[in-house]
Structure 1
Amino acid sequence: MVLLGHIFPNFDAVTNEGQINFHEFIGDSWCILFSHPHDFTPVCTTELARAAQLADEFVKRNVKLIALSCNDVSMHNDWIKDIQCYGKLDNSKKFPFPIIDDKTRHLAEKLKMIDPDERDPAGIPLTARAVFIIGPDKKLKLSFLYPATTGRNFDEILRVVDSLQLCAKHKVATPVDWKNGQDCMIQPGVKEEDADKLFPKGHSVIDVPSKKNYLRTTPQPN
């Protein structure tokens, strides 16, 4: 299992766009590697269509997307036509991200992306819906693991990218239900005498019965 803050394993793989080395693919970008159970299945089609619809939003954030399933390149390329149709995407344009061929299940097993409760007609466990967000330093920043039956929310994935990138630059944390542009919490390790310099937009303390001044808010830093 890959742990938060650890270097994400490097690997070579074949995709529908050709051979890649994963760390070279990431380069100086952020990256989201996400797996799906099987090509030509209903929930997966909706997910990849939504990811493709949001491709420009990920580009704005310097994030590369790459998908994976235990199917081969030929099947990926045929399925992309259905994804484009379902998502009302322009099929004259290149699909916005590659899909890894993992027909041997080597990566799915290595990265612990198997759903033991969902199986294909041959009785082989399907790939779960994993999401790995990896920074330019190649370290794992966040991971989700959904069962095969539950589709992901790519708007939420965009939201957490915004939070991760903001908190990597500033000594803030994002509170419950936070959205880009809203107030943030000041990290507990920031000394009060440093707060004015670090947060020129100002900050405030929320009064609570304990009288401990740990709930400090500030407008989102630029």
Structure 2
Amino acid sequence: MTTLRLGDIAPDFEQNSSAGTIRFHEWLGDSWGVLFSHPADFTPVCTTELGYTSIVEGEFAKRNAKVIAVSVDGAESHKKWIEDINDTQNTTLTFPILADPDHKVATLYDMIHPNASTTATVRSVFIIDPAKKIRLTLTYPASTGRNFDEILRVLDSLQLTDNYSVATPVNWKQGEDVIIVPSISDEVAKEKFPKGFKALRPYLRLTPQPNK
């Protein structure tokens, strides 16, 4: 199995889900996508993750992003699990959970790490852009809940830096100053960034977020 790297095309697939058959690329359409995996249904950490993702799904939608989960159990099991998620996390989960009992999606996305478990998928996250390219990968241990606020933050950064000649500094959040990329000269920067910039070093120039 070839490891998926940033910039690779996200593998397409057709698979059943809690919301019916999903043809992945077709389902994504022109949206960004967040695909995240779970080792099994009725697992405690994942129950909290799916609940929180459901609560903030509107934030993903604001960013033209669709969320989709995958677990190795079947669609009917997923539907029962969703009842538990809704009840314990005080939400109404509407996004699909892929049913992957044949490990098709897990194999395509290299989600089974034999040294961690020979059968359970690791808890991975993929951000996929509208061109179907993988833009972020994260892999967490089974014991640690993922930070979906961080995934939203990365989406903000990717969408900003795709459209402007900037990068985002450590712990950056929406509305904070950004970094002008080194390939832009000071002269060009003065034209591109009318709000001005502060040069801490010739290679480290801060400017207000250009789309705010």
Shared fold (TM-score, shorter chain, > 0.5): yes
Which 5+ residue runs of structure 2 have no aligned equivalent?
none
Which 5+ residue runs of structure 1 have no aligned equivalent?
208-212
* Mapped pair 1:153 → 2:147: yes
Q: Distance in 2 between matches of 1:2 and 1:76?
A: 27
Alignment of 1:1-222 (within 5 A): 1-90=3-92, 95-119=93-117, 124-207=118-201, 213-222=202-211
Q: Distance in 1 between matches of 2:143 and 2:113?
A: 10
Letter in 1 for 2:33: C
Q: Distance in 2 between matches of 1:189 and 1:6?
A: 24
Q: For 1:206, what is the secondary structure of its paired residue?
A: strand
After superposition, give the CA deviation of every residue in 1:62-117 in whole Å (9 maximum; x if it has no partner).
Answer: 10000001010000000000111121114xxxx33100010011211221111435
Contact 1:172–1:185 under 8 Å retained in 2: yes
Cα offset for 1:118?
4.8
Cα offset for 1:133?
0.2
Contact 2:11–2:108 under 8 Å retained in 1: no
Q: Distance in 2 between matches of 1:48 and 1:191?
A: 45
Q: Distance in 2 between matches of 1:189 and 1:86?
A: 50
Cα offset for 1:151?
1.2
After superposition, give the CA deviation of every residue in 1:175-203 in whole Å (9 maximum; x if it has no partner).
Answer: 00111110000111112211011111111
Q: For 1:160, what is the secondary structure of its paired residue?
A: helix
Q: Distance in 2 between matches of 1:65 and 1:108?
A: 17
4+ residue runs over 4 A deviation: none
Q: Distance in 1 between matches of 2:22 and 2:206?
A: 43
Q: For 2:49, what is the secondary structure of its paired residue?
A: helix
Percent same amino acid at aligned positions? 50
Q: Distance in 1 between matches of 2:113 and 2:144?
A: 11
Q: Distance in 2 between matches of 1:45 and 1:70?
A: 15
Letter in 2 for 1:100: L
Q: Distance in 1 between matches of 2:107 and 2:13?
A: 13
Q: Distance in 1 between matches of 2:67 and 2:112?
A: 20
Q: Distance in 2 between matches of 1:6 and 1:106?
A: 18
Q: For 1:65, what is the secondary structure of its paired residue?
A: strand
Cα offset for 1:16?
1.1
Number of corresponding residues: 209
- Indicate the RMSD between aligned Cα atoms, in angstroms: 1.2
